[in-house]
Amino acid sequence: VEALIDRGIAEKGKVGVTGTSYGGYSSWYAITKAPHLFTAAVPICGMTDLVVDYETTRP
């Protein structure tokens, strides 16, 4: 994201992230680890507890 902002492809303060399933988890992760980069996040069906997901999801 920083490279896109540096190149003028994305505008600082106007970048969002979204995803479904593991992409939803990645959206949660992104806004907690790099809140300075993302103005919005839309996690769809994103798990929030990996331990519970691991214990309750069948292969």
Q: What's the full length of the chain, in residues?
A: 59
Confidence check: pLDDT of 54 > 90: no
Q: State mean pLDDT over 2-8.
A: 96
Side chain identity at 26, as an amino acid letter?
Answer: S
Indicate the pTM of the whole model: 0.74
pLDDT value of residue 50: 86
Q: What is the pLDDT of residues 35-52, one digit of tens each?
A: 999 999 999 998 888 899
pLDDT in tens, 10-33: 999 999 999 999 999 999 999 999
- Quick one: tokens of 23? 């992409």
More confident residue, 57 or 59: 57
| Contact between residue 41 and residue 31 where contact means Cβ atoms under 8 Å apart | yes
Per-residue confidence (pLDDT) for residue 29, from 0 to 100: 94
Residue 8's contacts (CB-CB under 8 Å, 6 or more residues apart) are none
Half-sphere exposure of 59 (CA within 13 A, CB side): 0
